[in-house]
Amino acid sequence: MSAEVTAGHGPRRSPLERRYEALLRIYPAAFRDRHGADIIGTLMETSTPGRRVPSPRETASLIREGLAARARQATESPVRWWADGLHLGVLILAVVHLVHVGADIVLQGRSSWPWVAVSMALTLALLRGRLWAALPLALGSAFVVSRAMLFGYAASADWPLLSNATVYHSWISLTPYWLMAAGVVVLAARRSRELQPRSWWWLALPVATFAGDALLGVDLYSELGSLGRAGLEGGLLLAGIWVTTVTRSPRWALAAAIYVLPGELSTIADLPQTLKSPMVTAYWAVLAVLLLAMAWIASRVRTDTGSGA
């Protein structure tokens, strides 16, 4: 298929070619530089004359292979798989913590904004791989949410600026925070300077939570908010299963376990109450099944890698 040429401006790209180029942006930049022109050339040669949009099959294939290429690129980092998985896991815990802090603003008003600032700084530090900046924030956050258990509720009620910060009254509920703090300690102790910054897209979760409440009146604790969270978690775990299969790396399973297991432990600790709600029971059962599936695939990957070494 030939391209028209305009004087002084080079070839005029067709709408179909521009749409192929847009889909190729899903691939890593280095891959596009090496193979992008060849892929587009092949697709243009096999396309029917006059077509303006890629077929659904081509679109799905390009998206799938582009995401797979990005996932494989992540495994090419010099970071050990367990350190990378641990970094991703503690980042997810920090993002979820920020989401809950933002949701609590609805109930507590502007007095919680200092706590939001601390939580945002922690998330940003982990997002950029700044472990020594994240370390005091992670430890401080764990102590703040544990203040009622450590010092008694009355003794901690008048903490300056943080009196309305999140607080829990059972040790099992504190597991995610201390797990996050412990993970940051481990990463900082091994001087994980080679950790790669994570995508800014992780901030879409708290932004969507704030926007959903401010614009649509849907807060995190409503029925619709809970349904949306369950769908997102299930979708991400399914994506994790696919990525683990594609990349043959267990780092994604480790990150998923860091996020899911604290909730599963809390559910088991309060099992009689959990069983009273079929929906809650089904929710945690589905997450457990998906996590076990990812762990099984990861274990097979490690076994196959070890036997082939």
Residues 6+ apart with CB under 8 A from 286: 234
**pLDDT exceeds 60 at position 9:** no
Q: What is the three-class DSSP state of 255?
A: helix
**Using 50, 70 and 90 to split pLDDT, how confident is the model at 6?**
very low
* pLDDT score of 237 more than 90: yes
SS3 of 12, please?
strand
Nearest to 184 by CA among 234, 223, 124, 139: 139
pLDDT band at 238 (very low <50, low <70, confident <90, very high): very high
- For residue 213, pLDDT over 80 is answered with no
State the DSSP code for 109: G
How sure is the predictor about 77, in pLDDT bands with cuts at 50, 70 and 90?
confident
The answer to whether 270 touches 277, Cβ cutoff 8 Å, is no
**pLDDT tens, position by position, 40-61:** 888 888 887 878 888 889 899 9
Unique residue bearing structure tokens 């798989």: 81
Between the alpha carbon of residue 24 and those of residues 51, 76, 85, the distances in Å are: 18, 20, 27
Burial letters 226-256, b for 16+ CB under 10 A, else e: eebbbeebeebbeebbbbbbbbebbbbbbbb
Alpha carbon of 216 to those of 131, 199, 304: distances in Å? 36, 26, 49
Q: pLDDT: is 45 or 308 the higher one?
A: 45
From the list 295, 77, 22, the residue with the least C-alpha distance to 198 is 77
d(CA 207, CA 182): 27
pLDDT in the model for residue 255: 96
Confidence of residue 110 (pLDDT cuts 50, 70, 90): low
pLDDT, one tens digit per residue, over 259-300 is 999 999 988 888 888 788 888 889 999 999 999 999 999 888
**Is residue 75 pLDDT above 50, yes or no?**
yes
DSSP secondary structure, 76-98, as one string: TSSS-HHHHHHHHHHHHHHHHHH
- Mean pLDDT, range 151-157, rounded to an integer: 67
For position 306, what pLDDT does the model report? 53
Residue 11: pLDDT band (50, 70, 90) is low
End-to-end Cα separation, the chain, in angstroms: 47
Of the CA atoms within 13 Å of residue 307, those in its CB half-sphere come to 6
Q: What is the pLDDT at residue 156?
A: 61
* Confidence bin at 37 (pLDDT 50/70/90): confident
Residue 6, H or E segment: strand 4-6
Q: What confidence category does residue 239 fall into, taking pLDDT thresholds of 50, 70 and 90? A: very high
